[in-house]
Structure 1
Amino acid sequence: MSIDNYVNGMSEGSQRRGSVKDKVYKRPVSILVVIYAQDTKRVLMLQRRDDPDFWQSVTGSVEEGETAPQAAMREVKEEVTIDVVAEQLTLIDCQRTVEFEIFFTFTSSLCAGRDA
């Protein structure tokens, strides 16, 4: 996401200026779904288009108002067009190890004679 999603306006010379937009930020909560076929004992892996040497499972983010199981079902449907119901999901791990911070940087002009 670019800074333009958060700040209104750019000045000449591509310097950012303006006010912060009212924005709902992406929640830093991710899901990973391992799809295991019991009959063949195989795990479904997805080959990345942008890096064919990289393979991964179904992953995604939990959207606002969505539970982790709902996000898992949605991501599986979006990425591999398989309908999964909640009863087919088993939570095997939950990690809360990474913290995300958003820093807003502002500039301000002070007028001579005014208290700063």
Structure 2
Amino acid sequence: MWKVTVKYVSPAPKSGNLTYRRRVPEVLQARIGKTEFIKVLGKTQADALLVYGPYHNHIEHLIALAKGGVTGLSPAEQRDRLTALLTERGANPYSAGRDDNERTWRGEAAEQLVGRYQDHTTGE
């Protein structure tokens, strides 16, 4: 039986489930709104490996978005990072928002993301 080691995955002490656990760098904690990411991937190594790739990619997008926003990225990379952000915050990345509350939240989140890169006099 092969044993594969992947970053940020270890068995939980009590349950034995394989868990993805990754600390958020201190400088990014305010932007991300968390101090760490924790997710149970599964009981077996095979189960965990199936879930690991997409989840790790999701976390990488969130951290990259918090570090540098979306400037200088291709449209596909921007889409992937923003989709990861919306999914993490419980919003549907493929709609304008379920209700007024979510639409307001999306506007505020967009302002936080692009506000620091936008020229407020020209809007560019």
**TM-score of the two chains, using structure 1 as the length reference:** 0.22
TM (norm. structure 2) is 0.21
Higher helix residue share: 2
Larger Rg belongs to: 1
